[in-house]
Each structure stands twice: as C-alpha cells, then as structure tokens.
C-alpha cells in the first residue's frame, strides 16, 4: 500500500505526513532548489525525511536521524546535524534553543522568533539558514518556561479528584470470512461499573476513545455508535463482542466516531471539552474488513478503550461536514485521470456564539492523493488545512486550535478531494470497498451549537499539473453559482510597478494559458477587483481589460486546449467508419469510449475530452443572504462538454457508510443525492425483488417469492443467494 513501508539507509521506516506534527515549523520549510522534486505549488518542501519533497521513497539524512531518535523531537535530535552542514537540525527548522514540544506553549518572544525564522531543509547540506540567534537568548530560557499540556486524556483536576475512569471492549475472536470485503457488526453492554456510576441522577462524560487494532492487515476502518437499550435483556444469546447479522439496531444510532489508519486516538477533545454520556447502555461497532486475497482462518480481536469522567467540562465539541460522500454508484472517477477532483462549497449559518475551529480531518481510499479545506470571508481565503501529498495509511486529524480561527455566519467553506486514477483501466465508484472511493472533509469546533449548518453544492472536474485546488472556486467554478467575490490583492500591482505593467503581465499569462489557464484567471480576477475599486479608471486601462476579457472568453469557450486539461485527437475515428470521430464518441461516451481505430487505439486514449465526465455540474443549495462586493464583470464559466449517459455498475451490498450523507450532486444532467442508509435499503430491496421476479417469469412460474435481503453481508453472499434462488426456480 502506498506510503506504508519505505526502504531507507537505516532499513525500513514508515512514511507518514503526520510526522510533521512532531517537528517544529515542518509546514514552512522552503524548497531547497531545482534538484529536489515534489515541492508544493507554493514552493514548500513537505517530505523532510525523504529524498524528494513530496515524501515517499528512500529516507534522506534527516529521515535517518529522525528514525534513530524514535520519531521524536528530543534535545539530542534538535542538536544533531543530520546533513553535516555545520548547522543543527534545530537551527535549520527554527528551534535554535531546542525548546519546542508538540502541543506546548512557548514564551511569546520565542514563538515570534520561530515564526520569522528562515527555515531550511535539515537534510540538504547546500541549504543553510540565514537566521541566527545569540547564545544569551537561549541562556535566558529553560524548561520551566515551556507550558506543557497535561499528558493523557484527563486534566490534573480530574486525576486529583479521582473522577477519571477507563475500560476497554474487544471483539470476541471473530473469524474473518474469506471474502474480499466484509462488514461485521459487534455489540457490547457497558460494564456494570459504568452503569452504576452513570445511571439515574448521575451522569458521565466522555473524554477520549482509543482504538485497539489486532489484525492491522485486514481492519480497514470501523465506526462506533452508542446504544440506549441494553442488549443482554433483549436477546438470550448475547455475549460481549458477538457478531450480529443485522445492521445497527434502533437503539444504537448514537454516533461516537470511527477509526482509520493514522487516526488514533479517534476521539480526544481539548481539555476544556467533554461529551455527555447520559443514557448510554452499550456500544455497537461496525468493522470494515479488507481481505483481498480471501485468506481463511484469520481471527480478529480488535476493539476500543473508553476514557470518561463523572464531572463535566466547560464545553462540548461540535463538527461540520464540509463534504461527505460515501456510497453513490452513480458517481464515478474515470480511469487514466491524474488529478480528478470532487469539491463542495457550503455557506455557514446558525452560529449563535463565539466559535473557534479546532481541527480538520480527511478520509478517502486508495486513489486519494490531495485534500484541501479553505474558508473564504469577504473575498479573502484562509487555508485551514492542505495535504498536497495525502496518504491512505495516515488519516490523522490536524489540530489548528492554536490559530484561533473563528467561524461566522456567511463564511464559505470549500472542501476538496483530488484523486489519481492513472493506473486504473476502469471507472472507480464511490462505495464501501477499499477499491472504491469516498470523500470526507470534517471540521470540528468549540462550543457545540445545534443550530450550526453548512448548506451548499458539490461538483467535479479535472485539474492540470500545476493547478492549485485551493483556487477551484475561482478557476473551475460551479456553473450555476455567481462568480466568487474576491477582494482586491494590491500585490499584483506592486509586483509589476504600474497599472499598465500589471495588465501586461496578465496579458502575458493569459497568452500562454491555453496550456495552464489557472494563472490567467487568478491574475485577471485580482486586476479586475482592484480596478473596480479605484477612482482613476482610465480609458486605456479599460481597453486593456477588455482585451483580457476576450482572451479569457476564448479560453473558457475551448479555443485551443480545453479548460479541463484534455485534447481530442482529430485524426481518430472508429475502425472502418471515418465519420465516427471523437465528436461522435462524446454523444454516448459510456458505450463508445472502448471502441478502437484501425490502429487499435481506444477512443478513451485518443478522445480525452469526449471520454471525460462532462463539465462541472451540480444543483446548488440555497445559501444565506450576505453583503455583496461592488459589481464587477463576471468571469465566464466553462462551456460544458457533451454529456454521456449515467452508468450504474452494481448495487450497494452495505450502505451503512452512507448514513446521514448530505452531499448533493448532479451528473449528466440528472439530479441525485448520496444515498442514506434507508434510501439504499429501499433501492436494493426493489432491485432484488425485480431480479427474482424476472427469473420466475422466465420459467413460467406464477408465484411470489419473498426475499430477506441482509444489508450487512458481502457482495459474494449476495451472488450466492441469487444463485440459490435461480436453482429453486428451475426445479
């Protein structure tokens, strides 16, 4: 699996983006130079432990040092000189006095020093820091000047008052079936000690959940729900951690979160927040087992550890789903697309008190490569969290509470997942299997407010190499939404000296943008906004802007290479039928992209635009009314490409992951929404019923067959049941 194990100078080591959380200033190291590959679009190097800035591959000198120090930023690690350039690791990363610790508060003057430091790559001997600090400054600080967060899940007060408790629950040695994909549900009654402490007038408050993973090779992820009805009293065959055949029970829909690789603990609120557990009687855990080789006899005993207190904390943690698409077999990622994106814009409403964003989390499957979450307010963008090199094996949550970012009514949240299907030859669907895909972008905040919502719409498209996904609302906009209101960025004028020079720079960018496009749109938009806000709107400047508009209109209309980064081969046509070219393929792409020419060239390889999904489409949801900037000339939206029919590959075998889905999408001119659990159950029941009815009619039998369709079995079981029904109808 990509990014799991990497060969390095010191043997085998894990490559995890979350390791940046254990290093000072790891998100702000500039690219060492052209001899380093994989630098971000903003000129930063994220894979500090490797020989390329995108991460992955062999370990570099700094990665070896980090491995030898147990992946921890210790004083020895800080003082080490990994690349032998005469500067310590701490000096290169902006911690010259070796005071930094994860989640610790440093003296304000030292934090300011770290922020302004010239940060360089500690694994490149040619890349050294220009910053320095006098020894006297470091002598002025000591360990007592660092305020550390109390370790563990409990506060010092909770520990001192003995109101802190923990217990663990594990699966009762479940034998994983020899199927590719399995969803198994397990139940537990809460321990009697928990019930005694938390029943009646007494309450308990959740402060942490840790995953216990036994068979890491096969446990893909799990979802944990709380129950409000005791299972032991409901059935005679109950035993702790037993597997159930049905989905979540009526009394087990209390969502507590879920585990995925790299996400442990999977619930750890700030020390000022907890979650009321009043009425909890037990837990239900749905585990997704991945067994691609269909190995038999594997036994799992995974589970979780619960940490709770009997006294409440000040706040409750809340969450917002910026984007959540789990199961929708009508939504697909076409093959051979290096940067196919799914994005969603939503507008915040219902904020009633001061609200601080605490963190951001992402989830996808094997094709996920990049993840983004941005906040737009008054035309200005704030990057909440960007993962330009995202790894399936490291789905950690990013803590951004120290930035003090507030959430306000009218804020626009943009959430984006970018996928690479270059190595696949078939469409990839959004579904429960590991080989399918998902897209989750979740924000957590304090304090929880029931009224907070974020309504919006999603769409998809294709990015070129070099396109910045954070600018999708500007350069790949939703066709049915008004142009994004962007504030004037005067740096585009200051950079070029004069108004005329700035416009000339935009002209130059747009003239060459038939291959890239994004720079043209961004520069033009900022020049427009700044021009509209000025008093000296000269006719000459207006004329120049009109020329730029013409260039941009041609770009959007598809002159040259289309905005999606594709180009059809004008010489391709269906074998022996010259008139059936790429334009003909586009009229029914789903059935025609597999056709070949006289030279055995498939249409999907020659007609890149025709065989792509159509241009960004979606049904916009209503958004809150908010103040608008002065009117400016709108940027033309891309002309949609020819649509193709929707293709449904197979029904869902387990829709549980789509429960509470809220993403609204439209594809191929048809509106649809990601199915909730009940929607999927209804649809699958109808599908199964129609299939059985057809089998009966073919045999001339006029009888009604009732089918009990188990929603939690694998696809293999569904096929087995269909085969059994067919045999019965033939008798």
Query: Over the stretch 502-524, which tens digit does the pLDDT of each residue have?
Result: 666 666 666 554 434 566 677 66
Please tell me the predicted confidence (pLDDT) of residue 542.
67
C-alpha distances out from residue 279 to 263, 305, 311, 398, Å: 27, 19, 15, 31
Please tell me the predicted confidence (pLDDT) of residue 709.
31
Please tell me the predicted confidence (pLDDT) of residue 264.
81
Mean pLDDT of 53-66: 88
* pLDDT tens track for 491-505: 555 555 555 666 666
Q: Model confidence at 164, in pLDDT bands (50, 70, 90)? A: very high
Mean pLDDT of 467-471: 88
Residues 6+ apart with CB under 8 A from 412: 345, 346, 347, 348, 375, 376, 377, 473
* Short-list 304, 221, 209, CA closest to 261: 221
Residues 6+ apart with CB under 8 A from 344: 322, 323, 414, 415, 416, 441, 456, 457, 458, 459, 663
- The CA distance from 706 to 663, in Å, is 33
- Number of continuous H segments (helices) and E segments (strands) in the chain: 17, 28
Please tell me the predicted confidence (pLDDT) of residue 717.
46
Residues 6+ apart with CB under 8 A from 550: none
Quick check: 206 pLDDT over 50? Answer: yes
Mean pLDDT of 565-573: 71
Quick check: 159 pLDDT over 70? Answer: yes
Quick check: 557 pLDDT over 70? Answer: no
The top-scoring range by mean pLDDT among 337-341, 389-393, 550-554 is 337-341
Please tell me the predicted confidence (pLDDT) of residue 519.
66
* pLDDT tens track for 622-636: 333 333 333 333 333
* pLDDT tens track for 455-465: 999 999 998 88
Quick check: 273 pLDDT over 50? Answer: yes
Mean pLDDT of 253-270: 84
* Short-list 279, 337, 245, 243, CA closest to 609: 337
Quick check: 243 pLDDT over 70? Answer: no
Mean pLDDT of 116-129: 93
711, 654 contact by CB (below 8 A): yes
Please tell me the predicted confidence (pLDDT) of residue 716.
44
Quick check: 187 pLDDT over 90? Answer: no
| Other beta carbons within 10 Å of 103 | 11
Q: Model confidence at 439, in pLDDT bands (50, 70, 90)? A: very high
Two structure tokens written together for 185: 């549900």
Please tell me the predicted confidence (pLDDT) of residue 666.
32
Q: Compute the mean pLDDT over every residue in the chain, rounded to the nearest whole number.
A: 75
* Short-list 245, 181, 177, CA closest to 712: 245
Least confident window among 394-398, 447-451, 538-542: 538-542
Please tell me the predicted confidence (pLDDT) of residue 481.
73
468, 343 contact by CB (below 8 A): no
At the topology level, CATH places domain 156-309 in Jelly Rolls (2.60.120)
Please tell me the predicted confidence (pLDDT) of residue 108.
87
**Domain boundaries, given as residue ranges, for the chain:** 6-148, 156-309, 318-481+489-557, 677-730
- The CA distance from 652 to 581, in Å, is 35
Please tell me the predicted confidence (pLDDT) of residue 440.
94
* pLDDT tens track for 342-351: 999 999 999 9
Q: Model confidence at 490, in pLDDT bands (50, 70, 90)? A: low
314 DSSP 8-state letter: S
| 318-481+489-557 carries CATH number 1.10.630.10 | no
Instruction: Give the residue with greater pLDDT, 470 vs 606.
Output: 470
SS3 343: strand
Please tell me the predicted confidence (pLDDT) of residue 302.
95
Residues 6+ apart with CB under 8 A from 572: 581, 582, 597, 601, 603, 606, 607
Which value, in Å, is the radius of gyration of the alpha carbons in the chain?
28
Detail the DSSP E strand segments found in 41-191: 104-105, 147-148, 164-170, 174-176, 181-189
* Short-list 306, 314, 279, 281, CA closest to 202: 279
Q: Model confidence at 714, in pLDDT bands (50, 70, 90)? A: very low
Quick check: 728 pLDDT over 90? Answer: no
Give bridge partners of residue 319 from the DSSP assignment.
444
Asked if the domains at 156-309 and 318-481+489-557 fall in one CATH topology, the answer is yes
User: Quick one: what percent of the chain has pLDDT higher than 90?
Assistant: 30
- 289 φ, ψ to 5°? -95, 135
């Amino acid at each position: 699996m990509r990014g799991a194990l990497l060969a390095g100078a010191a043997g085998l080591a894990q490559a995890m983006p979350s390791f940046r959380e254990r290093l000072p200033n790891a998100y702000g190291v500039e690219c060492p130079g052209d001899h380093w590959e994989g630098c971000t679009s903003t000129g930063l190097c994220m894979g500090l432990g490797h020989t390329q800035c995108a991460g992955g591959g062999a370990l570099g000198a700094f990665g070896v040092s980090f491995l030898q120090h147990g992946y921890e930023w210790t004083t020895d690690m800080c003082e080490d000189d990994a690349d032998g350039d005469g500067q310590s690791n701490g000096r290169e990363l902006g911690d010259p006095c070796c005071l930094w610790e994860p989640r610790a508060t440093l003296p304000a003057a030292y934090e300011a020093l770290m922020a302004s430091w010239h940060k360089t790559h500690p694994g490149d001997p040619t890349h050294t820091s220009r910053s320095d600090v006098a020894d006297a400054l470091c002598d002025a600080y000591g360990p007592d000047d660092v305020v550390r967060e109390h370790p563990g899940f409990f506060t010092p007060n909770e520990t001192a008052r003995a109101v802190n408790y923990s217990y663990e629950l594990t699966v009762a040695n479940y034998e994983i079936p020899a199927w590719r994909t399995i969803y198994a549900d397990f139940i537990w009654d809460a321990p009697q000690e928990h019930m005694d402490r938390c029943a009646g007038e007494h309450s308990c408050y959740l402060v942490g959940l840790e995953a216990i993973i036994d068979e890491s090779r096969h446990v893909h992820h799990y979802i944990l729900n709380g129950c409000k009805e005791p299972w032991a009293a409901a059935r005679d065959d109950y035993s702790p951690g037993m597997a159930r055949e049905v989905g979540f029970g009526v009394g087990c829909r209390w969502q507590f979160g879920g585990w995925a690789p790299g996400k442990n603990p999977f619930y750890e609120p700030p020390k000022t927040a907890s979650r009321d557990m009043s009425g909890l009687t037990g837990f239900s855990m749905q585990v997704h087992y991945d067994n691609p080789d269909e190995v038999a006899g594997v036994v799992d005993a995974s589970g979780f550890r619960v940490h709770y207190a009997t006294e409440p904390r000040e706040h409750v943690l809340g969450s917002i789903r910026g984007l959540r698409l789990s199961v929708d077999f009508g939504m697909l990622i076409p093959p051979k697309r290096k940067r196919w994106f799914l994005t969603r814009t939503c507008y915040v409403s219902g904020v009633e008190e001061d609200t601080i964003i605490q963190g951001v989390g992402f989830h996808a499957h094997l094709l996920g490569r990049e993840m983004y979450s941005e906040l737009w307010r008054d035309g200005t963008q704030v990057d909440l969290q960007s993962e330009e090199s995202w790894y399936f094996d490291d789905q950690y949550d990013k803590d951004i509470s120290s930035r003090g970012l507030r959430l306000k009514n009218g804020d626009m949240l943009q959430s984006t997942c970018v996928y690479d299907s270059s190595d696949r030859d078939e469409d990839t669907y959004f579904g429960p299997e590991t080989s399918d895909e998902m897209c989750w972008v979740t924000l957590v905040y304090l304090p929880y407010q029931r009224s907070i919502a974020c309504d919006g719409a999603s769409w998809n498209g294709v990015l070129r190499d070099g396109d910045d996904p954070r600018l999708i609302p500007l350069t790949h906009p939703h066709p049915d939404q008004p142009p994004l209101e962007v504030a004037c960025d005067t740096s585009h004028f200051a950079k070029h000296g004069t108004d005329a020079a700035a416009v000339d720079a935009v002209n130059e960018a747009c003239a060459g943008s038939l291959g890239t496009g994004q720079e043209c749109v961004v520069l033009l938009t900022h020049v427009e906004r700044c021009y509209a806000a000025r008093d000296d709107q000269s006719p000459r400047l207006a004329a120049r802007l009109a020329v730029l508009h013409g260039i941009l209109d041609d770009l959007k209309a598809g002159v040259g290479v289309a905005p999606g980064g594709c180009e059809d081969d004008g010489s391709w046509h269906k074998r022996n039928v010259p008139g059936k070219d790429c334009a003909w393929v586009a009229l029914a792409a789903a059935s025609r992209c597999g056709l070949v020419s006289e030279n055995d060239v498939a249409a999907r390889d020659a007609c890149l635009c025709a065989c792509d999904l159509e241009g960004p489409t979606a049904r916009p949801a209503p958004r809150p009314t908010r103040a608008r900037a002065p009117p400016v000339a709108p940027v033309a939206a891309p002309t949609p490409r020819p649509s193709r029919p929707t293709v449904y590959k197979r029904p869902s075998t387990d829709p549980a992951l789509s429960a509470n889905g809220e993403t609204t999408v439209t594809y191929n001119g048809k509106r649809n929404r990601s199915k909730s659990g009940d929607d999927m159950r209804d649809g699958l029941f109808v599908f199964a019923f129609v299939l059985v009815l057809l089998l009966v009619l073919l045999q001339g039998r006029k009888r009604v067959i009732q089918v009990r369709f188990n929603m939690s079995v694998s696809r293999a079981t569904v096929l087995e049941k269909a085969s059994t029904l067919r045999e019965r109808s033939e008798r």
